[in-house]
Amino acid sequence: MAEESVISTIHSMADVWDAYRHELDGVEDRIHKNLDSSVALVNTVAAQILSGGGKRIRPLLLLLSARLCGYAAKEHHQLGSVVEFIHTATLLHDDVVDEADLRRGKKTARKVWGNQISILVGDYLYTKAMCRVVEFRSQGINEVLSEACNKMAEGEVLQLYYNGNPAIPESDYIKIVEHKTAGLIAAACRMGAILADASEAQQEALFRFGQFLGIAFQVADDNLDYVANGASLGKTIGQDLRQGKATLPLLHLLQHCSEHDRHMIKDRMETRTLNATDLDRILLLMAEYGSVTYAMDRARTYIDAAKRELELFEDSTARRALAVTADYMITRDR
């Protein structure tokens, strides 16, 4: 009964943060402790990006998955910090690859310290994470995490390969998203389950849960490029398009607009010459054909599929928190 009354308090993301604040503080503590390089510059650069306002979604999902499967110890704080290190390493490299100047409204590390430092501190964080993860002496964790990291790199290359090319099949767009974003989130969920000694069926359900969540998250994030308020997210509308990156709303639009408009969009992507008038026209067309709505519906479908995976588990605070977090993944302010 006491447990039931605790369960009932999880209705919103604010409730999740409240209920797991103490756990997330444990993750923060580990993140801080793992920044122990004898080269001070490494710690400075890493600390700057690690304290850049990230929500620690991956550690949260890992610890909720562990709790869902009955984990009672505290090693998941360390494993959560490892996943956050890896995520941060990919952000450092992504910002160099994308030549990004802003992240979450702040100057990127490459703008402050340069590309060289960003590449090398990314390498440092990734390798430091591997040092920490092998300490768990878990074959399952080693395999899941190394595989996820490899898929991430593969997804990034595939994305680069398609850069400037609007003729990307929707299935390849989803493959990119699955690899570059969903893989690590799925791995985080599965590692929580492994830590809790969960059954293979539970591990697989949580892996799929994370994968669906991750795809939905990235699709929703890509969508923001056509709807976000520039100031609040620290990014400008149409930035992906300007950089030659085709995402779901654009792929939808290209399938539905006139030959004339399709030609204009392809030309602007290939030549990187998008201007304000072009962008306004594209946004208007997207509204007309419901492209953003289509993409958001796709994201919502993935979230629904994710939540169905939770049916394998009995009701608990953690399960409710995971369901609430699933919805949160595609809300705007995250």
What six digits make up the tokens of 99? 């030549």
Listed ranges 70-78, 113-121, 279-287, 315-323: which one lies at the site for its own copies (CB under 8 A) = 113-121
What six digits make up the tokens of 23? 């756990």
* Whole-angstrom distance, CA of residue 210 vs CA of residue 84: 15
Under rule CB under 8 A, residue 121 binds its own copies? yes
Residues 49-88 contacting its own copies, CB under 8 A: none
* Whole-angstrom distance, CA of residue 195 vs CA of residue 215: 24
- Nearer CB in complex with its own copies: 161/229: 161
Distances (CA, A) of 117 to 7, 8, 92, 124, 213: 45, 47, 9, 10, 32
At a CB cut-off of 8 Å and minimum separation 6, what does 9 contact? Answer: 15, 19
> Which helix (H) or strand (E) element contains residue 103?
strand 102-103
CB 108 within 8 A of CB 29: no
- Nearer CB in complex with its own copies: 111/281: 111
Listed ranges 57-65, 92-100, 205-213, 284-292: which one lies at the site for its own copies (CB under 8 A) = 92-100
Figure out which of the listed residues 49, 61, 149, 206 binds its own copies, where binding follows CB under 8 A: 149
Figure out which of the listed residues 130, 174, 227, 305 binds its own copies, where binding follows CB under 8 A: 130
Taking residues 151 to 170 in sequence order and writing x for each that binds its own copies by CB under 8 A, - otherwise, the string is -xxx-xxx-xx---------
Q: Which residues bind its own copies (CB under 8 A)?
A: 37-39, 41-42, 93, 96-97, 115-117, 119-121, 123-124, 126-128, 130-131, 133-135, 137, 139, 142-143, 146-147, 149-150, 152-154, 156-158, 160-161
